[in-house]
Chains A and B, each alone.
Chain A
Amino acid sequence: MVVVSASKSPVVAAESLTKKYKDFAAVDGISFEIAQGESFGFLGPNGAGKSTTMRMVGAVSTRTSGSLSVVGLDPNNYGPEIRSQLGVVPQADNLDTELKVRDNLIVYGRYFGLSRSYLGPKADELLEFAQLKEKAKERIDDLSGGMKRRLTIARALINDPRILLLDEPTTGLDPQARHILWDRLFRLKEQGTTLILTTHYMDEAEQLCDRLVVIDKGKIMAEGSPAALIRKYSTREVLELRFGSEHNAAAAKKVEGLGERIEVLPDRVLIYSDNGEATLQKVTETGLNPITSLVRRSSLEDVFLRLTGRSLIE
């Protein structure tokens, strides 16, 4: 990983960045800075303003107000120049289905004005990286979801971007495909590519992000490293109790005062505590008999629940 010195100017800097559609503020005055080589995440539920922010950073959406600088340039005036240094992995794959796998990379590189002599070896190198070498001559429609995603990432790397923008990179993939993808992204991070990603998967954010912001209703709720956020907004452990959907609320009343904080969800009761086992002991001492109980480490999901008051995966 690249250690970022404080003197280095950020590759992305936003100040009171706002995007309004008529009266609705999709992004409502957010400020953040992303350093060269950093892996930065936007975490939030659907409709929080993550994708809109990504589109503004990607210089394909103009801001309503505030200031934004990407690789030192203003996207309003330098769209093509900024985009030439970005790699974009959109939420939905938009590969060119009329072209073969390898041609997708070559043609995309041509859009950046790169020469054919440069693109030939580069495309082969990226196919290798994406583990798609054998598929070079295949049609796009014949690839699996995970392969399409890897090809989309390979395509985003054709111009050796300084920043890679990934909008929910693993949504809809099976666990194995996700892990292959994470591994590839981690390698890029090691090579010093700045990664900016949105996700609503906690494990993904913990795996990939050096730093992240939790964003909800267009506003930044919290900022920090995954570990720091968990320390700040949650306890060390969480005790999850299920009493059956009918009884959760009543049971929650009885355990009030146990742990640092209690969260009642429709299907379970969460008790935040630094020692989950000890708290569970106290719960059974009150005479309650949960159907299932689970002690686990705190995760970003708990941070999210605390900050927004609702479950992430709805």
Chain B
Amino acid sequence: MTALDSRQTPKVSRPFLLPSLYAGNARSVMQRGVLATASTNWLIVVSGFFEPVFYLLAMGIGLGSFIGTVELPGGQPVPYAAYIAPALLAVAAMNGAIFDSTWNVFFKMNFGKLYDGMLATSLGPFDVALGEIMLALARGFVYACGFMIVMQVLGLNLSWMAILALPSVLLIAFAFASFGMGITSYMKTFQQMDWINFIMLPMFLLSATFFPITVYPTALQWVIQAMPLWHGVELIRGFTTGAIDAATPWHVLYFAVMIVLGMTLTTRRLKALFLK
């Protein structure tokens, strides 16, 4: 054991932002996640990559051969597979982020008592939230890169701007993860967790993923347009098809606001739950 006088006290940087809630060490939480994933559930991680690929093959290539082309809002016709591929990419970003920030977080909060341990160290609740979310992002980004390669091979990237879909995926995943974690902090039972799926599934099916929202009555179109996934689908589709328009910056802004709100909610909730 080290003697009293030679003790090295860990250094804590005191960030300008959120002192006492943040120690500038979210990285260590993320590294813990990578190590835990590598040693326990890497198979689940791999399976997450194939899900959108199967959808793309079945719906895009299979069903798409009967459908032919679909018109973008701007009027250009694109092959059906090229229409749904960016939507599936947005959905993959959403699903990865939501899985990591809801179910994973739910277990750690209620069963593993992991956060109690973390918050007894010099970490603050903001470090924990940011670290977990960065882990979700890293995972989402790996999926997105894999899916982009598949799209490229299948010739579904119609513009050089498609490369901008990758940062978009990060943006979308960040927004969903920050919100998902905040909402999960209210959940106490498995039944409540099922409500998340209840919202996710219709959002997945109806947000201009498989067909344009012009098929809906105007009122319903407004509802869909208020949902985050629709913005994600439109944002990425704009880049991969090259059909960006004046709405693109608004989609980005939508997610920026969502991130700020989500991070505020999550940090407050972690503080309320663990530093009460």
Residues in A lying within 8 Å of B, measured CB to CB = 2, 58, 60-62, 76-81, 83-86, 88, 90, 92, 94-100, 103, 107-108, 110-114, 118, 125, 129, 157, 159-160, 162, 187-188, 191-193
Contact = CB atoms under 8 A, between A and B. Distances in A.
B20 A85 contact: no
Interface stretch (B35-43, B80-88, B144-152): B35-43
B28 A110 contact: yes
Contact of A81 (B3, B12, B117): B12
A77 B19 CA distance: 7
A80 B274 CA distance: 14
A113 B11 contact: yes
Instruction: Determine the main DSSP class of B at the interface with A.
Output: loop
Given A60-B275, A77-B20, A99-B36, A160 B9 contact: yes
Contacts, number: 120
Contact of A108 (B11, B121, B276): B121
Contact of B25 (A99, A111, A187): A111
A30 to B, nearest CB: 19
Nearest to B9: A85
B2 to A, nearest CB: 5
Contacts of A160: 2, 7-9
B14 interface: yes
Interface stretch (B55-63, B108-116, B172-180, B237-245): B108-116
A81 B118 CA distance: 14
A86 B117 CA distance: 12
Of B2, B114, B117, most buried by chain A (CB within 10 Å of CB) is B117
Contacts of A97: 112
Contact of B35 (A58, A99, A125, A129): A99
26 contacts: A2-B4, A61-B275, A61-B276, A62-B275, A62-B276, A77-B19, A78-B20, A80-B20, A80-B122, A80-B124, A81-B12, A84-B9, A84-B12, A85-B9, A86-B120, A94-B114, A96-B112, A98-B112, A107-B28, A107-B32, A110-B28, A110-B31, A111-B118, A111-B121, A160-B7, A191-B3
B122 A84 contact: yes
A98 B44 CA distance: 15
B119 interface: yes
A114 B10 contact: yes
Contacts of B39: 98-100, 103
